[in-house]
Structure 1
Amino acid sequence: MRRLFGSVRAKAALGATAVVAVALVATGIAVLLVLRSNLTGQTDLRAEIAAQNVASQVALDVPYDKLHLPDSDENPVQVVTEHGRLRAASDDLDAVTGTATTAVRPASSTPDHDHGDDHGDDHGDDDHDNDHNDTGHSDNDDPPRGEVSHDHAHFSSGTATVDGDTADYRFAAVEVTNGDDDTLIVYVGAPLTTEQSAVSTVRSAMLIGLPVLLLVVAGVTWLVTRRALRPVEGIRREMAAITASQDLARRVPEPGSHDEVARLARTTNETLTALEKSVDRQRRFVADASHELRSPIASLRTQLEVGAAHPELLDVDGAVADTVRLQQLAADLLLLARLDAGERPGAARIDLGELVREEVSRRHAGRVPVTVQAVGGLEVDGSRGQLARVIGNLLDNAQRHARSGVEVSVRERNGRLVAEVADDGPGVPPGQRERIFERFVRLDDARTRDEGGAGLGLAIARDVAHRHGGTLTVGDGSVFALDLPAPRSQDSPQARSAPA
């Protein structure tokens, strides 16, 4: 179970479901609120229209018991004075809340200024005319009329019991004055049954549909994610098989799509290719190093065994030469190991021309003379020992292959420092110009000339150049060019020429 819910498919399905659930719940709440608001507004409008109708009758001084009231089930009515005294109500109204008074039957009239007291129980056309004459109006005047308030009606929520059935209502309150200038408030309710039914229906539909929709979203997300991640599972299985078999020649399957998974597969295969080359290179390095170490060790052992048995036959010079060769080879292997481990060069400021002249001066006893043309003051940042090793390896290589002389130059070119070592030897064939920088690689001609050489000098020189942000290449005429970045703009002193 933990593995199932820890998978990417499960996380994607749960995440998508959670997002959709939040969105649907928020949308559902908003829909319900808007629906309820709209339906309540329609209910208020119906109640206001009915209240305006009753208020118009009151304004015309229609007697309270003669008011034409709407059906009690649809619109329960109360006519109340501004002091909260009930003057008229629907006949079937048994109880009411949410209005100015809970009374449902008008109180007995008393002589006052209220509209109902002026007319008593004997309301009729004649009495109505006489009452108005008593107020000062002549028989020829128009009957007095009140006024319905033009302000917006006020609304409230409450309940009403009509014929024993209780329901929720929205009440509209409209203010009106009658002909006697008495202020009354007409309350008319409209049932909320339709609104409640519609909201309940929508809410029920959402409660039923939401889980179903979430299940659909979770299922579709699960299936889509599973299909999308199927190539990833294939990559994982193949990588596990490669790890178990240690066969770096195998490759993971690459899907035909052009999405991120396909790019992951291609990158994985590229990584496997680079890893395979690195492992093969390391294996060859170990094999070649073992072979190169075996020769001087075996020679040294033989000489020592002969010397132990026959001291007069001990070749001391040969033993020393084999020991020096073994020491140099061990130093080369140690330097290559440090370079492969990513050792960063130092940050010393070095005069490249001066460094070249120092290395040339150490080789006065060389087979052929060396001529130096170096511009002074050209400095580089790096390890003095490693750069001296590069210059020294290039000089040794040139002196081994030169016929009559070697030329070394140091100059600035295009904002970079270039040290070139050229000899007048046969040169390097174009097809071998990259191969000679591989480790333990020696051309056939070099093998005849270079006794004791292990084929590591040029490989070390190129690796050191790369570690210093430069390059080492070979061109026509056996010209080896070391290109290094300049730390800052250099001056251009006069070139110097000195034979060695």
Structure 2
Amino acid sequence: MRRLFGSVRSRATLAATLVVAVALVAAGAAVLLSLRSNLIGEAATDAERSARTVASSLALGKRYDQLSLDEEDEPVQVVDENRTLVAASEDLQRISGTDTDAVKPQVRPTTPAGGEEGEDSDGAKDDGAKDDGAKDDGDDDESSLHPGEIAEKTTYTNGSATIDGETADYRFAAVKVEVEGKGLLIVYAGAPLSAEKSAVNTALTVMLIGFPLLLTVVAGVTWLVTRRALRPVEGIRGEMAAITASEDLARRVPVPDTHDEVARLARTTNETLAALESSVERQRRFVADASHELRSPIASLRTQLEVGAAHPELLDVEGAVEDTVRLQRLAADLLLLARLDAGERPAAATRFDLAALAREEAEGRTGVSAQAPEAVHVAGSRGQVQRLLVNLLDNAQRHARSAVRVSVRREGEWAVAQVADDGDGVPEGDRERIFERFVRLDEARSRDDGGAGLGLAIARDVAARHGGTLTVRDASAGGALFELRLPLPRSDR
């Protein structure tokens, strides 16, 4: 079970099915309630029509035995103001839901003078006044009715009745009428609720059968649609698994011919693979170049030591020391590059004067002058920025004919340091290439004079880690101009 619902496809299908199920249940309940309400309303209308028909006959002065109470085979009761049954459907055998469960009218004696039932010889009603214990129907219009007048208000109740041996549920309507000589009468007429029950039961049966079928269709369609939608994702996953197994970073995942999130995921994945391939390739090249650069001083140092061991008088101590120093510098450069590649960033809390640092590094160098009269503070690693300036000055001195100039100034939100020489400059096509690792231009190919080709690469990496930039262009007096830009601390802007 856990594995079954562990996939996006299964969860999406389950979620869609549950949402549709809740919606169907809510809609079905609303339909059933609305259907039941409408059908009960229709039954109430039919019952009221029957009750008012009988009430109209009473208002016109018809006697109880002249009323048509059995025409529609529905229960009808006529009750006087004392809740005494005075007329009812002939075949009525049982009734509930009205004010009385009597089914046979009570015979009321006529007067010796031959007056109408319920009247004495003077024409007065023998029970026209309410008894103190009579039940009040609570209608506001009861006392305001005049003889022959039918109340506008109709009250409704639900009950059951047995007519000619058949029992059914009914909606009863009660209508009041004031009849001259009889007083206030209440007519109860019922309309069957069998149509309402039948319709509701039919609708409920259809829902109980149809809803599961509909949910099955929804689940199946969602399953198929989700499968089709996730097919490109599975293709991406499969290709990534193959790339991981083969370690072939040149491969790319398939990009679906759509413009949705899956297509963007595939493109982003390919961009990540391209960046990873480039990073791995740089790392391989770095390792190969580092091995090549280390091999030369190590081989030279070993040769000198072996010769010195065999012939002490031939030992070139000075050359061995130079090779050792060169090896030490190369190892330091490689270690710094490794730390920079690992994402090491300087502590932002360290503040130092870039102008003072530039003057300090320029001092004592032949042909190097510094123009940094005012303090320009920056934040970061003083040691790394010092290494950056040393590399720029070493590079400028190697290529200068006679002079190198260092300047530091503020420029907006930046601290700008420039190192210019009067050499031949850097060709425009090589101005980005010289910042790559182990790159030396043709005139600087000598390992003894040109170094390992890591100085400018380290300088640019340090500038980037400090949030700045390092670029090169032509100097105004000829030669190359390296420009370092570092952001000023917020408090100095």
Q: Normalised by the size of structure 1, how large is the TM-score?
A: 0.89
What residue number does 2:268 align with? 267
Deviation by residue 1:44-66 (Cα, 9 ceiling, x = unmatched)? 01101111111222334422222
**SS state of the match for residue 297, structure 1?**
helix
What residue number does 2:142 align with? none
What residue number does 2:82 align with? 83
* 1:459 pairs with 2:457: yes
What residue number does 1:135 align with? 123
CA 1:148–1:156: 2 relative to 1, 3 Å: farther
What residue number does 1:495 align with? none
Separation in 2, partners of 1:311, 1:7: 75
What residue number does 2:208 align with? 207
* 1:103 pairs with 2:102: yes
Separation in 2, partners of 1:309, 1:452: 32
Q: Show the 5 A alignment for 1:43-122.
A: 43-71=43-71, 73=73, 75-109=74-108, 117-118=109-110
Q: Show the 5 A alignment for 1:53-452.
A: 53-71=53-71, 73=73, 75-109=74-108, 117-118=109-110, 127-128=115-116, 134-135=122-123, 146-180=147-181, 182-347=183-348, 348-361=350-363, 364=364, 366=365, 368-448=366-446, 450-451=448-449
CA apart distance, 1:184: 2.4
**SS state of the match for residue 442, structure 1?**
coil
CA 1:449–1:340: 2 relative to 1, 3 Å: closer
CA apart distance, 1:411: 1.6
CA apart distance, 1:72: 5.5
Which amino acid counterpart does residue 33 of structure 2 have in structure 1? L
CA apart distance, 1:381: 1.1
Kept in 2: contact 1:55–1:148 (CA 8 A): no
What residue number does 2:131 align with? none
CA apart distance, 1:12: 1.4
CA apart distance, 1:319: 1.8
Which one is further off, 153-162 or 290-299?
290-299
CA 1:14–1:335: 2 relative to 1, 3 Å: same
Separation in 1, partners of 2:466, 2:370: 23
Q: Over aligned residue pairs, what C-alpha RMSD do you find? A: 2.4
Kept in 2: contact 1:72–1:162 (CA 8 A): no
Separation in 2, partners of 1:61, 1:461: 118
Kept in 2: contact 1:351–1:376 (CA 8 A): no
What residue number does 1:114 align with? none
**SS state of the match for residue 335, structure 2?**
helix
**SS state of the match for residue 150, structure 1?**
strand
CA 1:89–1:181: 2 relative to 1, 3 Å: closer
Deviation by residue 1:409-456 (Cα, 9 ceiling, x = unmatched)? 112224312111011111111111111111111112112375371111
CA 1:414–1:462: 2 relative to 1, 3 Å: same
Kept in 2: contact 1:405–1:423 (CA 8 A): yes
Q: State how many pairs are aligned.
A: 469
Deviation by residue 1:310-343 (Cα, 9 ceiling, x = unmatched)? 2222222222212211211111111111111111
CA apart distance, 1:231: 1.1
**SS state of the match for residue 153, structure 1?**
strand
Q: Percent identity?
A: 66
CA 1:332–1:90: 2 relative to 1, 3 Å: same
**SS state of the match for residue 426, structure 2?**
coil
Kept in 1: contact 2:56–2:150 (CA 8 A): no
What residue number does 1:140 align with? none
Which amino acid counterpart does residue 369 of structure 1 have in structure 2? G
Separation in 1, partners of 2:490, 2:275: 35
CA 1:24–1:154: 2 relative to 1, 3 Å: same
Deviation by residue 1:392-423 (Cα, 9 ceiling, x = unmatched)? 11001000110010011112224312111011
CA apart distance, 1:106: 1.8
Kept in 1: contact 2:118–2:182 (CA 8 A): no
Separation in 1, partners of 2:287, 2:117: 130
CA apart distance, 1:130: 12
Kept in 1: contact 2:81–2:184 (CA 8 A): yes
**SS state of the match for residue 446, structure 2?**
helix
What residue number does 1:14 align with? 14
Which amino acid counterpart does residue 83 of structure 2 have in structure 1? G
Kept in 2: contact 1:60–1:146 (CA 8 A): no
Separation in 1, partners of 2:316, 2:490: 54
CA apart distance, 1:290: 1.3
Separation in 1, partners of 2:22, 2:369: 82
What residue number does 1:496 align with? none
Unaligned runs of 5+ in 1: 110-116, 138-144, 492-500
Separation in 2, partners of 1:443, 1:130: 133
Which one is further off, 317-326 or 418-427?
317-326
What residue number does 2:141 align with? none
Q: Show the 5 A alignment for 1:450-489.
A: 450-451=448-449, 453-476=451-474, 477-488=479-490
Separation in 1, partners of 2:58, 2:465: 104
Which amino acid counterpart does residue 123 of structure 2 have in structure 1? T
Separation in 2, partners of 1:487, 1:450: 40
Separation in 1, partners of 2:406, 2:42: 100
CA 1:118–1:408: 2 relative to 1, 3 Å: farther
Separation in 2, partners of 1:331, 1:249: 33
Which one is further off, 405-414 or 60-69?
60-69
**SS state of the match for residue 19, structure 2?**
helix
CA 1:311–1:147: 2 relative to 1, 3 Å: farther
Deviation by residue 1:221-263 (Cα, 9 ceiling, x = unmatched)? 1221111111111111111110000000111111111111111
